[in-house]
């Protein structure tokens, strides 16, 4: 597991995410899509007002070509 704060470009080690039931259902659906479709590697869950967003990614270390250099550094070295 890797967590990146996109605003500060820093890795995080411990976060808490608060979702309402609708958001949790939506996130479950996105995760199912990521697992079922190998062509997908990320999904965005946005708040109703689009002011907050969670991006979830599915990765395999042997296939990181579709990720940014920053994402690859985080995945490989946890930094």
Q: pTM to 2 decimals? A: 0.87
CA distance 40 to 50: 22
Give per-residue pLDDT as tens, 19-44: 999 999 999 999 999 999 988 999 99
CA atoms within 13 A on the CB side of 19: 14
pLDDT digits (tens, 9 = 90+) for 45-79: 999 999 999 999 999 988 899 999 999 999 999 99
């Amino acid at each position: 597991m890797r967590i990146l704060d996109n605003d500060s470009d820093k890795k995080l080690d411990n976060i808490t995410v608060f979702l309402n039931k609708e958001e949790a259902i939506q996130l479950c659906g996105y995760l199912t899509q990521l697992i079922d479709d190998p062509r997908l590697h990320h999904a965005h869950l946005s708040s109703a007002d689009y002011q907050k967003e969670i991006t979830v990614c599915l990765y395999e270390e042997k296939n990181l070509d579709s990720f940014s250099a920053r994402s690859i550094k985080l995945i490989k070295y946890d930094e």
